[in-house]
Amino acid sequence: MTSLAGKSVLLIVGGGIAAYKVHELVRLLKTRGATVRIILTRAAEQFVTPLSLASLSGEKVYTSLFSLTDEVEMGHIQLSRAADLLVVAPATADLIAKMANGLADDLASTALLATDKRILVAPAMNVRMWRHPATMRNIETLQRDGVTLAGPSDGEMACGEFGPGRMAEPNEILTAIVDMLKPKAQPLAGRKVVITAGPTREPIDPVRFISNHSSGKQGYAIARAAVELGAETVLVSGPVSLPIPPGVQLMPVETAQEMLEICEGEMPADIAIFTAAVADWRVAAEAPEKIKKTGSGPPSLMLAENPDILATISRSAKRPRIVVGFAAETEHVTEHAVQKLKRKGCDLIVANDVSRDAGVFGGDRNTIHLVSATGVEDWPQMSKDDVAQKLMERLAQMLVPQQKTEE
């Protein structure tokens, strides 16, 4: 039985019939030695009492009627910061919608917005509410924000209907909590990883630019995986619409030249991973004013070649121990990657097929081929998160026998 001694869980209880199950969850957590602080929403108070939960947890239970005295004892920000993990059980459709939209109009939603810790959500609601497109959309948003789900499961519901929407059982929620609180190996502690991601944006004039469809998803997933393995992680990112991964140092850039300058400034590093879809060309001279239609046909744009960031860093005096490039190809994927490995002077090329049919751009899955000087490894199709984790674990292994960067 894994002990949770020294761990602190902030349990946020929503107002649903499944709230009765949190008594058992609190008991299980206490048996493992965890500290459990509890917030009840106003609706939750209709289903369970602060008194019963305070008796079980041995801690004060906070309610929506959060008083000034409470705030002095344990401020609402401190309440979520002091926890190692936040658990929302039962997570009602309303609470999920608030989380997905960043609303903070009571103690529970404020604590959820104020936290920088991981969040486990155990949804519980009527099957139609669960299947409603609004709930599905909100759940997708939460997953994109890095929230973990426990359940819901299928079964008969309190309302007499049958289907998904039943809250996961307390022992299932406990298993998810134990897994999330398990100390992870941090082989990259004390190491620095620099990652480029997203597209670059090359201005034509003050209102127009040249860019591409890169979503930045793969690079952001790699940054999350690097943080999880304990690395100091710098993410040099072109314009994307993704949340900043917790623990990452984000360096936002627009053009390829800016991206290169920031990367050079971040050296030395132990590992550099270039996932950015850098525009190959920029407009040689950006027009200072918006280019007007003159009636004498379209303007000609003179292009200039952008610096190759990967090749430049690979060949610099401050070259990181491991340099990884990406190759987005639409044909002859591995052959081109092998040539690219040599041309760019990197240690690994992660090659992927970005032809329209493959659905890589903007999608959540990726099929990659890992090309090194010793050969090609074909990985099965997996999520971009799994690619990121596997890749970072591999890079950590490659680095282990070597010494850390001397500053």
Q: Which residues bind ligand C5P (CB under 6 A)?
A: 196, 256, 274-276, 278, 306, 308-310, 325-327, 340
CA–CA gap between residue 404 and residue 270 (Å, rounded)? 7
Which is nearest to 224 in space by CA: 399, 10, 387, 377?
Answer: 387
CA–CA gap between residue 241 and residue 274 (Å, rounded)? 19
Q: Shortest approach of ligand C5P to residue 177 CB, angstroms?
A: 38
Task: Select 89 or 395, whichever has its Cβ closest to ligand C5P.
Answer: 395
Task: Select 110 or 275, whichever has its Cβ closest to ligand C5P.
Answer: 275
Task: Select 9 or 313, whichever has its Cβ closest to ligand C5P.
Answer: 313
If you count them, how many residues does the chain have? 407
Go through 47-76 and write b for each residue having 16 or more CB atoms within 10 A of its CB, e for each that does not.
Answer: bbebeebeebbebebbbbebeeebeeeeeb
What are the residues facing 305 on neighbouring strands? Answer: 281
Q: Shortest approach of ligand C5P to residue 261 CB, angstroms?
A: 13
Give the pairing of strands 232-237 and 192-197.
parallel
Q: Shortest approach of ligand C5P to residue 311 CB, angstroms?
A: 7
Q: Shortest approach of ligand C5P to residue 346 CB, angstroms?
A: 8
Annotated catalytic residue within 65, 136, 159, 207: 159
Which is nearest to 126 in space by CA: 41, 16, 11, 46?
Answer: 16
Q: Shortest approach of ligand C5P to residue 312 CB, angstroms?
A: 8
Q: Shortest approach of ligand C5P to residue 361 CB, angstroms?
A: 14
H helix runs in 85-126, sequence order: 93-101, 107-114
Task: Select 61 or 338, whichever has its Cβ closest to ligand C5P.
Answer: 338
Angstrom distances, CA of residue 317 to CA of 269, 285, 312, 320, 321: 12, 31, 10, 9, 11
Alpha-carbon torsion (250, 252, 257, 261), positive or negative: negative
Count CB-CB contacts under 10 A for residue 135.
19
Residue 263 designated active-site:
no
Task: Give the H/E segment covering residue 335.
Answer: helix 333-344
DSSP letters, 151-178, are --EEEE-TTS-EEEEEPPPHHHHHHHHH
Task: Select 278 or 360, whichever has its Cβ closest to ligand C5P.
Answer: 278
Task: Select 10 or 351, whichever has its Cβ closest to ligand C5P.
Answer: 351
Give the catalytic positions in this structure: 159
